Amino acid sequence: MQHLDLNQPGLPDLQFVLMVVALCTSDIDSLNAPVSVRETVFNRCWSLLDESPPPTQKDKRVLNLRLGDEVMLEAMVHVIRQTFEEYGFVELIWDQKPTEPSRESTPEVRELVDRIQKLYPPPDDSAPPSASSSPS
């Protein structure tokens, strides 16, 4: 069983938004939030980025976060938390094991992934812990 605490996700804001939007647009039947709530979350996030109505076709329900900035990202985090809270959710829970990507990223997405990896590089397990990485 996997879970995501909506108030203390342990993820940077961008990863949090990407994760929640992916869950909201997925076909995961075991997700504890009903489809109507997922659609509301997506639609509200969409309206922060685009003036047109949210697409209804599943393959078009993708947010272009490259058009936003830090303020927009903070707004999306707030909208996600507020919307789920309205419906009584503090945590998302689903029963699905992580899977490998089913296809290669598009060049546009690859650029975003590369930027995220530069901002948040994976930890180097072979490096000794530094003083700055120890909890305060």
User: Which helix (H) or strand (E) segment is 94 a member of?
Assistant: strand 91-94
pLDDT at 136 over 90: no
Dig out the tokens for 41 from the structure: 């979350």
- Kindly report, residue by residue over 17-34, the tens digit of the pLDDT: 999 999 999 989 999 999
State mean pLDDT over 101-130: 67
Q: Where are the alpha helices (DSSP H) in the chain?
A: 13-24, 35-49, 70-86, 107-119
The reported pLDDT for the residue numbered 106 is 74
Q: Which amino acid is it at 120?
A: Y
For residues 125 and 81, what is the distance between their CA atoms, to the nearest angstrom? Answer: 33
pTM of the model: 0.72
* Alpha carbon separation from 106 to 18, 38, 72, 111, 113 (Å, rounded): 16, 25, 23, 9, 10
